[in-house]
Amino acid sequence: LRHLTTLENLPRETIERLLDKANSLRDQSAHGTRKLDILAGRTVLNLFFEPSTRTRTSFELAARRMGADVINFDIALSSSSKGEELFDTLHTLEAMHLDAIIVRHKVSGTPEELVKHAMSGVSVVNAGDGNRAHPTQGLLDALTIRNHHPDFRKLKVAICGDVRHSRVARSDVHVLTAMGAKDVRIVGPSRLLPTEGEFKGVTLHEDFDEAIQGVDVVIMLRLQKERMASTDLPDEAAYFERYGLDTRRLARAAKGALVMHPGPINRGIEIAPEVADGAQSRILEQVGNGVFVRMAVLCEVMGR
Ligand code: CP
């Protein structure tokens, strides 16, 4: 892969190779405590037009732990804030020589546009575009699940919350179906579900108590208020009552079901604090795996 903009149509073998590579880099780097020099002399640019804690930091750590130089582009202090167009910014940065650009943008399709307009051999990695794709989140979610449940053919997964506005849900569905997951249930109020037929190989549900029954993995999503009209915002208490994950509801899932969330979490809105911090929560494990998955992706796109 020269670029990673989406997981849609990515073959299972490529996904498995990236997940294997992530585990191998975890071991080679002694869980990130030993620095590697695989990307020495390479330069990676973090170009984030939307806020991020996990993705931006983990890409930076991933690149630095393999010896690359990292530039964190500060949008607020850049000439973008003076009206410079995206592709002029791209060409300006490329003129300084870059090997990879990690981009997050509110407009769906921006990573592909950068690929089209890039003039150098720079690799583009999508760190989240609009509601469309967040491929490294999908990969780190798959890695977290695979480390507990190696055989996806037996796997039942519920993805619950604001699926309509979620790029994570889209990438999770792409990776889960590519990996052959047996049963993927998409859950939420009708106005936050994807349109009928948009997602292939999944079932849509409005009743969370019913849909969570017997699942091995529950992936909770936050309400993406920044992508909703104010009139679409649900009452938070009523939302938690029907779609929040609390201990009572979690007890309906399979014994020891994994609780996942891409973050940031909103305690008491989509997940109860005792579940987010409970024994079944894999939320911080997801964050840790994010660094190794991003190391694997950077190696892949830069041909290492
Ligand atoms: N999961 C995720 O994309 O988190 P950040 O917005 O903090 O990067």
What are the DSSP calls for 69-91, one per residue?
A: EEEEE-GGGSGGGGT--HHHHHH
Residues 126 and 110 in one domain: yes
Coil/strand/helix, residue 174: helix
Residues 22 and 52 in one domain: yes
**Is residue 6 situated within a structural domain?**
no
Residues 187 and 166 in one domain: yes
**Is residue 7 situated within a structural domain?**
no
Residues 53 and 152 in one domain: no
- The rounded distance, in Å, linking the Cα atoms of 209 and 49 is 37
Residues 129 and 200 in one domain: no
- Mean residue pLDDT across the chain: 96
Residues 192 and 112 in one domain: no
pLDDT value at residue 192: 94
Residues 271 and 145 in one domain: yes
Please state the residue numbers annotated as binding site for L-aspartate. 82, 167, 222
pLDDT in tens, 204-256: 999 999 999 999 999 999 998 888 888 878 899 999 999 999 999 999 999 99
Calculate how far, in angstroms, residue 240's C-alpha sits from the geometric centre of ligand 1. Answer: 22
Which atom, in ligand 1's list, is nearest to the CA of 57?
8
pLDDT at 75 over 90: no
pLDDT value at residue 76: 81
pLDDT at 181 over 90: yes
- The rounded distance, in Å, linking the Cα atoms of 209 and 222 is 18
Residues 185 and 206 in one domain: yes
Calculate how far, in angstroms, residue 113's C-alpha sits from the geometric centre of ligand 1. Answer: 22
Specify the number of domains making up the chain: 2
Dmax (CA) for the chain in angstroms is 56
Residues 84 and 37 in one domain: yes
Residues contacting residue 107 through CB under 8 Å, at least 6 positions apart:
129, 130
Asked if ipTM goes beyond 0.95, one says: yes
Residues 97 and 152 in one domain: no
Buried-state track 72-95, b at ≥16 Cβ within 10 A, e below 16: ebeeeeeebeeeeebeebbeebbe
**Is residue 245 situated within a structural domain?**
yes
Residues in contact with ligand 1 (CB, 6 Å cut-off)? 52-55, 128, 134, 137, 262-264
Going by pLDDT thresholds of 50, 70 and 90, the confidence category of residue 45 is: very high
CATH number at residue 31: 3.40.50.1370
Residues contacting residue 153 through CB under 8 Å, at least 6 positions apart:
180, 181, 182
Domain of residue 270 covers: 135-282
**Is residue 2 situated within a structural domain?**
no
Calculate how far, in angstroms, residue 48's C-alpha sits from the geometric centre of ligand 1. Answer: 11
Going by pLDDT thresholds of 50, 70 and 90, the confidence category of residue 77 is: confident
Q: Write the residue with the smallest CA distance to atom 6 of ligand 1.
A: 52
Calculate how far, in angstroms, residue 85's C-alpha sits from the geometric centre of ligand 1. Answer: 25
Q: Would you say the C-alpha torsion 238, 168, 296, 177 has a positive or negative sign?
A: positive
Q: Write the residue with the smallest CA distance to atom 1 of ligand 1.
A: 262
**Is residue 36 situated within a structural domain?**
yes
**Is residue 274 situated within a structural domain?**
yes
Residues 72 and 153 in one domain: no
- Higher-pLDDT residue of 104, 73: 104
Task: Assess whether the previous peptide bond of 264 is cis (omega < 30° from 0).
Answer: yes
